[in-house]
Structure 1
Amino acid sequence: MCKIYFFFFMMLFLTFFSLSIYFLMLDYFFVIEYNLLFINSMLMSMVIFLDWMSLLFMSFVLLISSMVIFYSEEYMYGDLNLERFILLVVMFVFSMMLLIISPNLISILLGWDGLGLVSYILVIYYQNIKSYNAGMLTALTNRVGDVALLMSIAWMVNFGSWNYIFYLKIMFNDYCMQIISVLIVLAAVTKSAQIPFSSWLPAAMAAPTPVSSLVHSSTLVTAGIYLLIRFNEAFSTNLMFFMLFFSMMTMFMSGLGANFEFDLKKIIALSTLSQLGMMMSILSLGSSDLAFFHLLIHALFKALLFMCAGLIIHNFGNMQDIRYLGGLINHLPLTLCFFMICNFSLCGLPFLSGFYSKDLIVEVMSMGYLNIFVYMIFYVSVGLTVCYTFRLSYYLLFGTYNFTSLSLMAESNILMLKGMFGLIFLVVFSGSLMMWIVFTKPMFIFMSLMMKIMTLIFILIGVFIGIEMFKINLSYKFCDSKLNVNYYLGSMWNMPFLSTIFTYKRLLPMSGIYLKFFDQGWIEFYGSKKLVSEFVGLTIFMQWLSKNHFKIYLLLAVMWIFCLIMFM
């Protein structure tokens, strides 16, 4: 079953990729519209919008998902519900594709809610209490964005159609469009886990690793960014400054948090959060093409990074704590080579794929008229990325082997390695290749030598600090105080605590009071119980009437005759 979907997705990938190049060269786009319903001048229709951007993104989603499905066959080997797992992954991919090709808010909502529902099912796939908690946090956080999208659909009624793509430029200064833009940004911020909705992304690591590979590369978290790229023409200057501030804070917070984390998958999840912050920040500076470019490049190396992490976890008997790892270059050399190439690409080392997008983002930001706060946060975040990457690399490569001595480490997972081989060449070469495709006109950025090498300086500082952190072995001080600096930085500025306990600690007792005094009290007495008693009484009366209808008829006839005699 895995191989069937693998070949099917690969054929679709080749078709869509060649079509995207063709559409880009000839500047084509297709709009396919099917009218469903017409109510009071409101047209509800199913619309498919095919241009080079949607086709290119779909081709990347299909490529990564085909490799992930191929990889899952061995990773999930022995699972009793493997077919159900693969079908859920396929549903996940098709929900994302529906979202990509939709220029209509109604059809976007179908894909958007499809992603939310299937992601919840996949997060609780391993049925234990941790998975259930993570699934509820994921679902309820994303529900805030779903409500914002529903409200934007309601506001779009003012334009007579839900095809937002026709109104972005024309209605730029319109009050309704400004409200819709704010709601769309709120929806995208929840889906892409920006502050203050960041806590669900590391929690979603409870899902199987192939799902994490798909979620953190080309689906779910990138859905919000893609929606913002499509909507970017309608954003006002103030809204873009608002997005810039929160995305930079997300980038900085996740970089700090990853340096104090010991869970292998959570470190990679926090790096995804950092890159999402970078995409949203450059998008809010007006470079939507550059955000899309980084979105594609990041999808490739992040998918492979999770695949490598999954193979390590698989060989270590589902153990994810990096303090137990070490010296893996002797046991899993090929996996660690792939892992390090992806890490270097994530850091933006010349001349891997991540360098072409990340360095360009930093240089475009440096060319803008921005204050020193934005400038320094950007560069410090780049340094923090390198810092936690090299800390992780040292724990895996050069540390002492801290796992049980009765273990057999060997790269015998042939299918998993084949799935990883499918992406490694793209991780190395896709940056230079995609630059020719996405940017049809050459870009020239002129800066002083110091500004030009500023990125390299911060990368080297990050390498030094990451190695030193490994030597010092900074760890949590597990104490009750939430004011402890290590705890505060490692727990994403107490955001998981604020999202869970802080939210329901006051609301849960209030809901209990409401249940006791209202739902099971006065409302029940005057609501459901009162209705039941009234209806029962009315039914008894009607039943009495129906049983005695002849007697009542005669009585009414006598009364009618009596009235006639009296009044005549």
Structure 2
Amino acid sequence: MKNLSICNIGFVLLMFISIILFLFSLIFLLKDLIFFLEWEIISLNSSMIIMTFLFDWMSLLFMSFVLMISSVVIYYSKEYMSGDLNINRFIMLVFMFVMSMMLLIISPNLISILLGWDGLGLVSYCLVIYFQNVKSFNAGMLTALSNRIGDVAFLLAISWMLNYGSWSYIFYLEFMKNDFEMNIVMMLIVLAGMTKSAQIPFSSWLPAAMAAPTPVSALVHSSTLVTAGIYLLIRFNILLSYSFMSQLLLVLSGLTMFMAGLGANFEYDLKKIIALSTLSQLGLMMSILSMGFMKLAFFHLLTHALFKALLFMCAGAIIHNMNNSQDIRLMGGLSIYMPFTSSCFNVANLALCGMPFLAGFYSKDMILEVVSMSYINLFSYFLYYFSTGLTVCYSFRLIYYSMIGELNCGSLNMLSDEGWIMLRGMMVLLVMSIFGGSMLSWLMFNTPYMICLSYFMKFMTLFVCLFGGFSGYLISNISLFYFNKSLNNYLIVNYFGSMWFMPYISTYGIVNYPLMLGNIVYKSFDQGWSEFLGSQNLYNNLIKYSHIFFLFCSNNLKIYLMLFIMWIVMLFLLFLF
């Protein structure tokens, strides 16, 4: 009962704070207010340590969404993690994770952002290795070490900010945007944002982080860890617009979006498919941000958080009922056995696809129409639309495998919708996934965007989505019969399914060759020449010489008498001759 009460208290407290912050964000948005607070922690002679906080409509709204999703996740964990003896520890870790994100959101200062940034990194490691096995430990190390690259870039950015009067970057964004030092800071911040938001070439840690419990995945992939890089670059968007890094970021994020969408069509692990869909949406946010549309990126960030958290919670309920099996080939007919969970799952999937009037439609449709209206090269334009089609493609493939047909797993599975605590948590996000997009669009874009497109361009988004859904259905049917027939097809499937061999390059490749070199050095030096010339050979020689000395010591009387006789014989021979 004690464990359950902690979950209840956490849910009520975070939801209450979330509602208050949402109301404050409305006031700040309507009145266009920004509060910049300074808290003097300590003052010694003329030196002061000051903590600064930035409250505007963006930070308050984002905090409201993070707290709302995390409160629902904590409530959901009450049933999902009920068999865990250390559920208190789990809830406290989740709470620390959320608090680190809060610190990152409201900080206009690089030092205090680093506290939240590193807090996210350290607590995410603890959460990924929560189920203690070899796979979790490997995934945790990959997650932590990939993010350390971004942390180092962040520390270098802090050191470059020493060229200015303080670490509060917000004072210098507008005035120093053409400064060389500020451009260096921008490059480092972009690198940090790319590692945290898993853009190419740092993408391999995101699917690996699926080793964490499903409630953690729902939190990480919706509104906390992976969105930290996007949020930081939204804050630095003035610099990004004037930097050449925006063009590089546009290409890399477009390729990330394309790669993740393609890889999800060849994946059979339920959680990994949803993780790759997160990666695809992060690429979409990053690419529209690099084009200078900061508000649109933030809008998609919030709408995506709603349906992605719901998607993971539905996936957790399905995995829970399938005796912890995550293979979609073993599913089927779930809509018959788990109607409410399946309904939530399908609503979240359709919102992800951009189904009209669900949460994802408002942001994705606007992003694609603004891209169509902008000056952009054909390659990036192709990546935007083709990746959107792939999103619908893998979503319909997932629905085909999990919802249609007969159940493919063991007959002893007790599939049901009777986990009422999990279902109540999902209901909150279901309502938000349906109405959240329209609500946010009315709030954030009170003056409508003027989007001037031709008749066919206006229908392009809808056409791409329909074509993508049809392709997903075809892939689901055809892949079983044709893809594994020959070695070439197997290599193609392996190439696309393993994120363009990125884990081999960024993980196994980096680790494998140093380990092989270490093995050679160990065999030839530690166990080879150094043993022959050093300790082992010295030991053998000492043993050999000690045997000789022992022989002398044990036969010393015989040797003495033998030498005495030889001496007498020599004296006798001298006297004779």
For the criterion TM > 0.5, the same-fold answer is yes
- 1:91-116 per-residue CA deviation (whole Å, 9 max, x = no partner) reads 00000000000000000000000000
1:6 to 3, 11, 30: 11
Measured at CA, do residues 114 and 410 of structure 1 come closer, stay the same or move farther in structure 2, by a change above 3 Å? same
How far the C-alpha of 1:507 sits from its partner, in A, is 2.3
2:248 is the counterpart of 1:242: yes
Q: What secondary structure sits across from 1:218 in the alignment?
A: coil
Letter in 1 for 2:477: K
The answer for the alignment partner of 1:176 in structure 2 is 181
How far the C-alpha of 1:30 sits from its partner, in A, is 1.2
Q: What secondary structure sits across from 2:408 in the alignment?
A: coil
For 1:459 and 1:169, the matched residues in 2 are separated by 39
1:437 to 426, 440, 443: 443
How far the C-alpha of 1:34 sits from its partner, in A, is 2.7
Q: CA RMSD for the aligned pairs?
A: 2.2
Measured at CA, do residues 241 and 341 of structure 1 come closer, stay the same or move farther in structure 2, by a change above 3 Å? same
Letter in 2 for 1:489: F
For 1:314 and 1:462, the matched residues in 2 are separated by 30
Q: What secondary structure sits across from 1:254 in the alignment?
A: helix
Q: What secondary structure sits across from 1:31 in the alignment?
A: strand
2:94 is the counterpart of 1:89: yes
The answer for the alignment partner of 2:393 in structure 1 is 387
For 2:303 and 2:143, the matched residues in 1 are separated by 26
For 1:480 and 1:451, the matched residues in 2 are separated by 41
Q: What secondary structure sits across from 1:30 in the alignment?
A: strand
For 1:40 and 1:381, the matched residues in 2 are separated by 58
Measured at CA, do residues 40 and 384 of structure 1 come closer, stay the same or move farther in structure 2, by a change above 3 Å? farther
Letter in 2 for 1:105: L
Q: What secondary structure sits across from 1:126 in the alignment?
A: coil
The answer for the alignment partner of 2:514 in structure 1 is 507
Letter in 2 for 1:364: V
- 1:93-143 per-residue CA deviation (whole Å, 9 max, x = no partner) reads 000000000000000000000000000000000000000000000000000
Measured at CA, do residues 491 and 41 of structure 1 come closer, stay the same or move farther in structure 2, by a change above 3 Å? farther
2:340 is the counterpart of 1:334: yes
TM-score w.r.t. the length of structure 1 is 0.88
For 1:8 and 1:442, the matched residues in 2 are separated by 36
How far the C-alpha of 1:46 sits from its partner, in A, is 1.4
Deviates more, 1:197-206 or 1:436-445: 436-445
2:67 is the counterpart of 1:62: yes
Q: What secondary structure sits across from 2:39 in the alignment?
A: strand
Letter in 2 for 1:233: I
Do 1:44 and 1:161's aligned partners in 2 also have CA atoms closer than 8 Å? no
Higher Cα Rg: structure 1 or 2?
2
Do 2:34 and 2:55's aligned partners in 1 also have CA atoms closer than 8 Å? yes
How far the C-alpha of 1:486 sits from its partner, in A, is 0.4
2:309 is the counterpart of 1:306: no
Q: What secondary structure sits across from 1:387 in the alignment?
A: helix
The answer for the alignment partner of 1:47 in structure 2 is 52
Letter in 2 for 1:453: F
TM-score w.r.t. the length of structure 2 is 0.87
Q: What secondary structure sits across from 1:500 in the alignment?
A: helix
1:274 to 277, 280, 287: 280
Q: What secondary structure sits across from 1:226 in the alignment?
A: helix
Do 1:42 and 1:160's aligned partners in 2 also have CA atoms closer than 8 Å? no
2:21 is the counterpart of 1:21: no
Measured at CA, do residues 76 and 326 of structure 1 come closer, stay the same or move farther in structure 2, by a change above 3 Å? same
Do 1:44 and 1:162's aligned partners in 2 also have CA atoms closer than 8 Å? no
Do 2:204 and 2:507's aligned partners in 1 also have CA atoms closer than 8 Å? no
The answer for the alignment partner of 1:497 in structure 2 is 504
2:121 is the counterpart of 1:116: yes
Letter in 1 for 2:84: D
Measured at CA, do residues 510 and 347 of structure 1 come closer, stay the same or move farther in structure 2, by a change above 3 Å? same
For 1:117 and 1:482, the matched residues in 2 are separated by 40
How far the C-alpha of 1:45 sits from its partner, in A, is 2.8
Letter in 1 for 2:312: F
2:374 to 357, 368, 373: 368
Q: What secondary structure sits across from 2:244 in the alignment?
A: helix
Percent identity of paired positions between Structure 1 and Structure 2: 59
Any gaps of 5 or more consecutive residues in structure 2?
Answer: 1-5, 535-577
Do 2:153 and 2:188's aligned partners in 1 also have CA atoms closer than 8 Å? yes
Measured at CA, do residues 151 and 483 of structure 1 come closer, stay the same or move farther in structure 2, by a change above 3 Å? farther
The answer for the alignment partner of 2:492 in structure 1 is 485
Number of aligned pairs? 520
For 1:195 and 1:101, the matched residues in 2 are separated by 28
For 1:118 and 1:191, the matched residues in 2 are separated by 14
2:357 is the counterpart of 1:354: no
For 2:268 and 2:223, the matched residues in 1 are separated by 25
- 1:423-464 per-residue CA deviation (whole Å, 9 max, x = no partner) reads 111100111110111123221201001100111111111111
Measured at CA, do residues 481 and 143 of structure 1 come closer, stay the same or move farther in structure 2, by a change above 3 Å? farther
For 1:501 and 1:282, the matched residues in 2 are separated by 32
The answer for the alignment partner of 2:565 in structure 1 is none
For 1:91 and 1:26, the matched residues in 2 are separated by 32
How far the C-alpha of 1:509 sits from its partner, in A, is 4.6
Do 2:368 and 2:384's aligned partners in 1 also have CA atoms closer than 8 Å? yes
Letter in 1 for 2:442: W
For 1:119 and 1:432, the matched residues in 2 are separated by 32
The answer for the alignment partner of 2:461 in structure 1 is 455
Do 1:205 and 1:269's aligned partners in 2 also have CA atoms closer than 8 Å? yes
Do 1:42 and 1:161's aligned partners in 2 also have CA atoms closer than 8 Å? no
For 2:332 and 2:211, the matched residues in 1 are separated by 23
Deviates more, 1:206-215 or 1:39-48: 39-48
For 1:486 and 1:345, the matched residues in 2 are separated by 28
How far the C-alpha of 1:37 sits from its partner, in A, is 7.1
Q: What secondary structure sits across from 1:9 in the alignment?
A: helix
